[in-house]
Amino acid sequence: MTTSVLDPTAEEESENRVRIKRLTSINGATIGLLDISKPRGDIFLDTVQSLLENAGAKVLRFTKPTFSKPAPVDLRHEIATTCDAVIEALAD
Amino acid sequence: MVNDRPRLPDGYVAFVKRDCPTCELIVPVLKQLADTNLLGAIYTQDDPSFPSLSVTKDDTSLKMSFLHEIETVPTLLKTKDGSETGRIVGWSKQEWGSFCDIEDLGPKDMRSYSPGCGSRNTDPDLQGELRKNFGEGVSSRIIDFASAEDEFEAMYDRGWSDGLPLIPPTIERVLAMLEGTSRQPEEVVGLAPPNLVTLTVEKIAINAVMAGCKPEYLPVVITALETACTDEFNMHGVLATTMPVGPVLFINGPIRKSLGMNSGMNLLGQGNRANSTIGRALQLTIRNVGGGRPAEIDRATHGSPAKYGLCFAEDEESSPWPSYSEDLGFSPSQNTVTLFPGEGPRLICDQLSRSPDELARSLASGLLGNAHPKLVMGFDCILIIGPEHASRFSEAGWSKDRVKEEIINCTVRETDELIRGAGGIAEGLPEAFAGTSLPKFRPEGGLIIVYGGGEAGLFSTIIGGWLSGPKGSQYQTREITP
């Protein structure tokens, strides 16, 4: 006998988005550095920033209010509209 | 849960079944009403040929009986413009006479009174089917397992399980579950993390069926999910963290008793259906609706058995103190659920303390290990004080507030011992905290005291928390609404 059940899931599928092309050069690009507010993330990103700037990139720094929650929509929008690429830093 | 009622013929309409002696008794009355064209229809529930009259209609599907919410047969409805304007049930010659405005209703020698029988549509075994066929229904996708599929294996295969078997969420079971709440199936409870999906009462009910809940547990599960989906509780973070925490629930108020929850011996252990399935229903909903699965968004390094669902009740009846919810200002008649981001429980064993001061020091020393002995103020904790430990305090006249204050005072340590590197241990507070002293817990709300457990055993139990406050998770208490 066939059993019929109700779907316990959200009945939604992930949206597939096409990735933007990788940067061919860092020189002249604007790179965002997102600190997720884990301890010592700033130390890691300070080093990354100086390496990027030495390679000719412009660096913008961003910080999530807390590592434990998703980045606010406004912050994601700001990064997306002002940067060519973003590096997100985990730390501990 | 019932659609708009179907139209009825004007005049009078009767609902009967042959299996009811009272219905057999009143056949002459029905004939009299039909012969005088007062009776527009007789809906018969079990035998379409009963009674043998021109107005008799087959209601063996019970559609009309269900939709008109007939509870007793015979029931006589008075109707106008297709709708009911009044009803009487059973047989009373006087009542029927005045209801139909006929003085000499029925044969003279007829019994003047006879109670009716239960209407077939009230049969508990038929409720699921009737609601499925004629109720407002549900909107989730129906999945038909293949005939060769084992239904239990099929649910595992689809990734719905936490590892334990699930009850198949058939339409009948889900509809029965939805009877446990006054909320509509389509009501939105929140956005289920981590995928921030619209979470409806119906989806919660489906997962509650799978978890093994009874319908009367559903309001607790709904309120718990409402709480879990708040920014303050931050279920996203509780799920995604590498730490071994999940939503720990404890219940206050009379609903503990009506659901048969365990607040005594083995209250955190196995064997009680409500304790075992309410927390599980929450977690299954986060898994299946929110998309929060282990090793995906759930990044727990070790996890914990508590992540299957950890739910218990406070023993308010035996407690020497007001309940936790009363401490918060709720009345004893209000039902509440508290959600706390917690680890699995751990024992503090002290079988020798006799005075309250000794025991406060002892419990404090046991609590120092929460998260790490050198990390303070950042992690809240539930302390479940067992009856024998509590009596040490209550017999000395200590209030719960005093117990909490004394314990927290006993956890105060010089921060020079807690900073990174102190004691040869790298973990600890940043150097900036040196030169002062701090308690283990933040004084306002860092330590939750709950009373419960078996009568015997000089023990208390702690449930360690996760990152406290706005940057992590803020535990919360909400009133459970039906």
Q: Quick check: B145 contacting A, CB < 8 Å?
A: yes
Quick check: B80 and B10 in contact, CB under 8 A? yes
- Helix, strand, or coil (residue A31): strand
- Distance of residue B10 Cα from the nearest chain A Cα, in angstroms: 40
- Using CA atoms, how far apart are residues B297 and B419, in angstroms rounded to an integer? 32
The mean pLDDT of chain B is 95
Neighbours of B42 (CB within 10 A): 26
The mean-pLDDT minimum among A23-32, B129-138, B232-241, B430-439 falls in B129-138
Say whether pLDDT at B2 is over 70: no
Domains in chain A: boundaries: 30-89
- Fold entry, domain B11-126: Glutaredoxin (3.40.30)
> For the segment B29-40, what is each residue's pLDDT rounded down to a tens digit?
999 999 999 999
Name residues 28-57 of chain A within 8 A of B (Cβ).
37
> For the segment B249-288, what is each residue's pLDDT rounded down to a tens digit?
999 999 999 999 999 999 999 999 999 999 999 999 999 9
Dihedrals phi, psi of B460, to nearest 5 degrees: -135, 165
Pairing assessment for the beta strands B310-313 and B336-349 based on DSSP bridges: unpaired
Nearest to A6 by CA among B198, B227, B185: B185
B454: its two tokens = 């078996």
- Per-residue pLDDT averaged across B469-478, rounded? 95
B252: its two tokens = 């206050």
Q: pTM value?
A: 0.82
B433: its two tokens = 């905290």
- Using CA atoms, how far apart are residues B389 and B457, in angstroms rounded to an integer? 8
Q: Quick check: A15 contacting B, CB < 8 Å?
A: no
Residue A3's pLDDT is 84
- ipTM summary value: 0.87
- Say whether A6 and B151 touch across the interface (CB within 8 A): no
Q: B131, B140, B372: which to substitute to probe chain A, counting the most A Cβ within 10 Å?
A: B140
Q: Quick check: B404 contacting A, CB < 8 Å?
A: no
- Distance of residue B197 Cα from the nearest chain A Cα, in angstroms: 7
Q: In the structure, what pLDDT confidence band is assigned to residue B132 with cuts at 50, 70 and 90?
A: confident
- Say whether A8 and B206 touch across the interface (CB within 8 A): yes
**Residues of chain A contacting residue B240, judged by C-beta atoms under 8 Å apart:** 68
Say whether pLDDT at B177 is over 50: yes
**Residues of chain A contacting residue B188, judged by C-beta atoms under 8 Å apart:** none
Q: Quick check: A1 contacting B, CB < 8 Å?
A: yes
- Distance of residue B366 Cα from the nearest chain A Cα, in angstroms: 27
Nearest to B142 by CA among B105, B175, B109, B111: B175
Quick check: A4 and B171 in contact, CB under 8 A? yes
- Distance of residue B426 Cα from the nearest chain A Cα, in angstroms: 13
- Say whether A4 and B144 touch across the interface (CB within 8 A): yes
Residue B415's pLDDT is 98
- Say whether A7 and B142 touch across the interface (CB within 8 A): yes
Give burial (CB, 10 Å; 0-12/13-18/19+) of A14.
Answer: exposed
Say which residues have a Cβ less than 8 Å from residue B234's Cβ, sequence separation at least 6: A68, A69, B341, B472, B473, B474
Residue B3's pLDDT is 46
> For the segment B451-470, what is each residue's pLDDT rounded down to a tens digit?
999 999 999 999 999 999 99
Which part of chain B has CATH 3.40.30.10? 11-126
- Helix, strand, or coil (residue B1): coil
Residue A1's pLDDT is 59
The mean pLDDT of chain A is 91
> For the segment B369-407, what is each residue's pLDDT rounded down to a tens digit?
999 999 999 999 999 999 999 999 999 999 999 999 999
Residue numbers of chain A with a pLDDT score lower than 70? 1
